Every structure is written in structure tokens, then in C-alpha cells.
């Protein structure tokens, strides 16, 4: 089935009369509806919904939310302008990170902002980031001592933030600031998720240590962004990077964009850029520890591609197995496990009526683990992405960067760094769990292991 064939009809068309109301997902409790099950085990809950229908209604307390469960319809949703970025997920993000950044804007402002940031992520811009990506990937392995316990959470955040900050906001000062940013962001994301799932507004204003730590990290994040912008301006330099593009961007009237928008844009790029990559690096390290046969295969591939030299950006395209390991890790543990949209008008999806204002939710985690789309769906099998087999995967059943106008601008940038990091760490070390390691899945704004602790052993 193609997207076009599932593209909704406007309710104004004659087909409107045959639109159905989506079924209510089973298991709703009085008053709470599905909320308890969603909070208790969101991954299992979202994964079971397809058994109830292609589009189903969920009751979350007094509210009705629509869940989309098939790959085709998630593609149709993401490509349909009747659905925009909005809803509880985005509202809570906006409150903390700002309202004027690309990740939360809609309409003409969003299109203008995408035009501003897109050149920094184009394929032909990537080689310019190669030296920083290489340096950071190798620095990671050089910091680790053989046999020492590695705290994968902080190490993954560190490399992700440093690459995003150094590549996109270039400047010598970034080395020291990237360190501060990674500490701030780790704290902010932890607190943001808590505030999203347990929205107890006043409680978060009480002077508990956790609240103070969150407020301090959030304030420092905003301060850092202001410092970065102010220093760039004061330097009088205009390197060819994303920060220059943001500072020189014009609004639709041709006037410079406001200070708040510049600030929110930097935040809106740094925050998704670090949490997602950091979570994926953690899962990659976990996969290398859990599947030594694939770690060995990656090492062999790197050695044969590089001839034993340090792996570099120019090798990334030839590292096909390594790339497949990254893709398969992202299939089973997508950093972005839940996405939401809001209907801006009465509309339809897959033959179901969706009223204006409805919140729609779907889970890339559920879609990418569905047995209807994947043979041996829970097996870690990087070879399923080999050319002969990848064609069996239904359209939109593997879209970890989403599709349509909100598609992640950083898909190539992210894949290049993830492949390079995986290659660099695998060339030097094999990994085994250390005492106290807990690789069970922690559900937050992204998915990541609770507390991954590994020992790196030289080959
Ligand atoms: C949007 C995933 C890395 C910047 C998105 C979306 C997804 C995603 C699924 C779309 C959200 C939606 O449809 O509602 C990922 C994954 C990453 C990654 C899986 C890495 C493993 C990055 C990086 C950056 C970045 C490294 C920047 C340095 C953004 C921005 C948006 C976005 C700015 C908002 C785009 C818009 O709304 O137009 N990302 N991302 N992402 N991502 Fe990423």
C-alpha cells in the first residue's frame, strides 16, 4: 500500500459520510481510562494497540486521544498537513525550552526556519564535520582504560553533545562549554520527563534538591546559549556554520529575526541533537556487549576497510555491516519512541473520522517491533538490512527519523557520527557488563538503558 492510497479524504468530499469512528481500545478503566496502563508500561501498551485496530481511541482520564498503529497510517499522518506539531508532549517541551524554535513551530515560521537550518545538514556539508567527528570518536576510546568500568550514560552524552556543539556552533570556546552542556542536558531531560508524565506543577516549585538541581541546570543551559551567541557576535567572526546562519536569518518581511528566536533555535537544535544521539550510543554499546559475534564482525570490517589505520569519516560509506548494526539497534530501541500530532481541522485517517483538535499519538517503537512487518521481529539481526532483504520491510515500518516536513534534519549527520563512533570503539575494544550494570529500558523523553556500566577489554 502506498501513502497516496491511504491519504485521507477531506470530510467535505462525498466519502465523508462513510467515515467511521475508531474503536475504543480494550481495557479502559472507569475514570482513569487507559492512563494507568500507559503510565505503568508504555512500551507494552503501545505495542499491543494494533490488535485493537489501525486507528484506536484511548481514554486518558476525561480526554480522548487517537493512536495510529500501522506503518502506512503513521506515514500518512506525518505527510498530511491536517496534522501539525502540537499536543501535550510539545506543550511541555515548549514551556521549558522555548516557543520559537524549529522543533515546536508550525506553518510559515517553521518553513522559514527549516530553510535556515537545512544547509548545515546537507550531505555535502558533512565532510566538513568529519575531523571533529573523528576526533571525538577516538577521544572517547582514549579516555577509557582497559578493564575500567565505563559509565556509558555520561560518556554517551559527552560525545553526542560535543559533536553537535563543536560541528554546528563551531568555535574554540566550545570545548569547555560542551562539557557544561552535557551535564546540564542530562539533568534537564531527566526532570523534563518527570514533569511530562506527572504534571504536578506547584510541586516542582518547592525547594527539594531534585527541583533545585533541575532549575539550576535549565538556567545554566539558557545562560550557556546566551553566552555562545554573545561571544560569537563579539568575535566579529562569521564561520560557515549553523550559528552564523541563525544569526543572519531574516523573517518573512526580510527583517532580522528576534533575539528570542535565535536563542530558542539554538536550544531547539542542541537539545534533540544530544539526547537522541546519546541514547542511541548507549544502545550501541549495549548491543556490542550483548552480541560479541557482531562486535567481532564490526571489528573485522573496520580493519579490512581501514587496513588497520584509525577509522576516519572517509571510511563511513564503506562500513556496511557497521551501518546495519546501527540501523538494527535503532529499530529495536528507537531513541524517539513516541510522537504526537494534533488535527487542525476535521479530517480523516485510514477511513476513520478524526475531529479538529484531536491529539494523535504513535510509537515508532511499536511500529519497528511489529511481527507483521518483521520476521523474527525481536531478534537483533543487522543482516535484515542487506540489499536482498531490506526490500521486505513495509514502507514506513522503519522511520526512526520520521518522514514529511518534520523529518529530522539531522538523519545523515546522525548516521555518520553513529557509524563512526561504533567503528572506532569496536576497533579498539570488546565490551562486557560491569558489576551493577542495568541495561533494562528506561522510558523517558527517549528510550535508554537505566544504568549501563561496561568494561572495555582490548581485543
Ligand atoms: C526532529 C529523531 C538526531 C535535530 C526529529 C524527529 C525525529 C528525530 C523522529 C521528528 C519528530 C516528529 O516527527 O515529530 C532523531 C534521532 C536522532 C536525531 C533518532 C539520532 C539518533 C538529531 C540531531 C539533531 C536533531 C543530531 C541536531 C543536531 C532535530 C530537529 C528536529 C528533529 C531540529 C525538529 C525538526 C522539525 O520539526 O522540523 N528528530 N533525531 N536530531 N531533530 Fe532529530
Does 392 reside within a domain?
Answer: no
CA-closest residue to ligand 1 atom 1: 408
Distance 268 CA to ligand 1 centre (A): 10
**Do 105 and 241 lie in a common domain?**
yes
Q: Residue 401: CB within 6 Å of ligand 1?
A: yes
Closest-lying ligand 1 atom to the alpha carbon of residue 274: 26
> Up-side HSE of residue 285: CA atoms within 13 Å toward CB?
37
CA-closest residue to ligand 1 atom 6: 408
CA-closest residue to ligand 1 atom 24: 273
Closest-lying ligand 1 atom to the alpha carbon of residue 279: 21
Q: What pLDDT score does 197 carry?
A: 66
Which CATH number do you get for residue 449? 1.10.630.10
Distance 400 CA to ligand 1 centre (A): 9
**Do 381 and 414 lie in a common domain?**
no
* ipTM surpassing 0.95: yes
**Do 158 and 128 lie in a common domain?**
yes
Instruction: Give CA–CA dist 427/421, Å, rounded.
Output: 10
Does 144 reside within a domain?
Answer: yes
**Do 161 and 234 lie in a common domain?**
yes
Q: What pLDDT score does 172 carry?
A: 63
Closest-lying ligand 1 atom to the alpha carbon of residue 334: 19
**Do 60 and 199 lie in a common domain?**
no
In 87-205 the beta strands, taken as DSSP E runs, fall at 149-151
Pick from 231, 222, 105, 130: which is nearest to 247 by CA?
231
Which CATH number do you get for residue 26? 3.30.43.20
Q: What is the mean pLDDT of each run of 10 residues along the chain (459 residues)?
A: 35 60 91 84 95 94 92 97 83 77 90 94 95 96 95 92 89 71 85 72 84 93 92 90 93 91 91 91 98 97 97 98 98 95 96 96 97 97 96 96 96 98 98 97 92 97
Does 322 reside within a domain?
Answer: yes
- Domains held by the chain: number: 2
**210 phi and psi angles, rounded to 5 deg:** -65, -40
Does 142 reside within a domain?
Answer: yes
Residues 6+ apart with CB under 8 A from 233: 247
Distance 20 CA to ligand 1 centre (A): 33
Instruction: Give CA–CA dist 47/66, Å, rounded.
Output: 14
Rg (CA), the chain: 22
**Do 369 and 242 lie in a common domain?**
no
CA-closest residue to ligand 1 atom 32: 408
Pick from 458, 352, 452: which is nearest to 150 by CA?
452
Residue to probe by mutation, ligand 1, list 272, 275, 402, most atoms within 8 Å of CB: 272
Q: What is the DSSP pairing of strand 359-362 with strand 339-343?
A: antiparallel
CA-closest residue to ligand 1 atom 41: 273
Does 395 reside within a domain?
Answer: no
CA-closest residue to ligand 1 atom 7: 401
Does 394 reside within a domain?
Answer: no
**Do 151 and 75 lie in a common domain?**
no
Q: What pLDDT score does 122 carry?
A: 95
Instruction: Give CA–CA dist 207/102, Å, rounded.
Output: 32
Q: Residue 339: CB within 6 Å of ligand 1?
A: yes
**Do 328 and 346 lie in a common domain?**
no
Residues 6+ apart with CB under 8 A from 77: 68, 83, 341, 349, 360, 362
Q: State which of 324, 358, 385 marks the end of a domain.
A: 385
**450 phi and psi angles, rounded to 5 deg:** -60, -50
What does 184-236 look like in DSSP terms, one character per residue? HHHHHHHHHHHHHHS--GGGGGS--HHHHHHHHHHHHHHHHHHHHHHHHHHHT
Distance 409 CA to ligand 1 centre (A): 6
**Do 292 and 173 lie in a common domain?**
yes
Does 391 reside within a domain?
Answer: no
- Give the residue carrying C-alpha cell 543482516: 383
Length of the chain: 459
Pick from 120, 112, 114, 117: which is nearest to 254 by CA?
112
**Do 113 and 261 lie in a common domain?**
yes
**Do 349 and 265 lie in a common domain?**
no
Does 94 reside within a domain?
Answer: no
**Do 156 and 27 lie in a common domain?**
no
Cell (9 digits) for 325: 548494526
3-state secondary structure of 83: strand
Give residue 280's domain range.
Answer: 100-336+400-458
Amino acid at each position: 500500500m502506498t501513502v497516496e492510497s491511504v491519504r485521507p479524504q477531506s470530510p467535505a468530499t462525498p466519502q465523508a459520510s462513510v467515515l467511521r469512528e475508531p474503536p475504543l481500545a480494550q481495557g479502559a478503566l472507569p475514570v482513569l481510562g487507559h492512563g494507568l496502563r500507559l503510565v505503568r508500561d508504555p512500551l507494552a501498551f503501545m505495542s499491543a494497540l494494533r490488535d485493537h485496530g489501525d486507528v484506536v481511541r484511548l481514554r486518558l482520564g476525561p480526554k480522548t486521544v487517537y493512536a495510529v498503529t500501522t506503518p502506512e497510517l503513521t506515514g500518512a499522518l506525518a505527510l498530511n498537513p491536517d496534522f501539525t506539531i502540537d499536543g501535550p508532549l510539545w506543550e511541555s517541551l515548549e514551556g521549558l525550552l522555548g516557543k520559537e524554535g524549529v522543533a515546536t513551530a508550525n506553518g510559515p515560521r517553521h518553513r522559514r526556519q527549516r530553510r535556515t537550518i537545512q544547509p548545515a545538514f546537507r550531505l555535502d556539508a558533512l565532510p566538513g564535520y568529519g575531523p571533529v567527528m573523528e576526533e571525538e570518536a577516538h577521544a572517547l576510546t582514549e579516555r577509557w582504560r582497559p578493564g575500567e568500568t565505563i559509565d556509558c550514560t555520561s560518556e554517551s552524552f559527552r560525545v553526542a553533545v560535543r559533536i553537535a556543539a563543536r560541528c554546528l556552533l563551531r568555535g574554540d570556546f566550545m570545548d569547555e562549554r560542551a562539557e557544561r552542556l552535557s551535564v546540564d542536558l542530562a539533568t534537564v531531560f531527566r526532570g523534563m520527563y518527570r514533569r511530562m508524565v506527572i504534571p504536578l506543577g506547584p510541586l516542582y516549585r518547592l525547594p527539594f534538591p531534585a527541583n533545585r538541581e533541575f532549575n539550576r541546570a535549565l538556567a545554566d543551559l539558557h545562560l550557556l546559549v546566551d553566552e555562545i551567541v554573545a561571544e560569537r557576535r563579539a568575535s566579529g567572526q562569521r564561520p560557515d556554520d549553523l550559528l552564523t546562519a541563525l544569526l543572519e536569518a531574516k523573517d518573512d518581511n526580510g527583517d532580522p529575526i528576534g533575539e528570542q528566536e535565535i536563542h530558542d533555535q539554538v536550544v531547539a537544535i542542541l537539545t534533540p541533537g544530544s539526547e537522541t544521539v546519546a541514547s542511541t550510543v548507549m544502545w550501541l554499546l549495549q548491543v556490542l556487549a550483548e552480541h560479541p559475534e557482531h562486535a567481532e564482525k564490526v571489528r573485522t570490517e573496520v580493519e579490512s576497510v581501514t587496513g588497520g589505520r584509525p577509522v576516519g569519516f572517509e571510511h563511513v560509506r564503506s562500513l556496511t555491516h557497521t551501518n546495519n548494526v546501527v540501523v538494527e539497534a535503532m529499530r529495536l530501541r528507537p531513541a524517539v519512541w513516541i510522537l504526537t500530532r494534533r488535527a487542525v481541522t476535521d479530517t480523516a485517517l485510514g477511513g476513520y473520522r478524526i475531529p479538529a483538535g484531536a491529539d494523535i499519538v504513535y510509537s515508532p517503537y511499536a511500529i519497528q517491533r511489529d511481527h507483521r512487518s518483521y520476521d523474527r521481529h525481536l531478534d537483533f539481526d543487522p543482516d535484515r538490512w542487506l540489499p536482498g532483504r531490506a526490500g521486505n520491510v513495509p514502507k514506513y515500518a522503519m522511520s526512526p527519523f520520521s518522514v514529511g516536513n518534520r523529518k529530522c534534519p539531522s538523519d545523515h549527520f546522525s548516521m555518520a557520527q553513529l557509524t563512526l563512533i561504533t567503528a572506532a570503539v569496536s576497533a579498539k575494544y570488546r565490551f562486557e557488563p560491569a558489576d551493577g550494570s542495568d541495561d533494562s529500558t528506561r522510558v523517558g523523553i527517549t528510550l535508554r538503558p537505566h544504568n549501563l556500566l561496561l568494561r572495555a577489554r582490548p581485543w
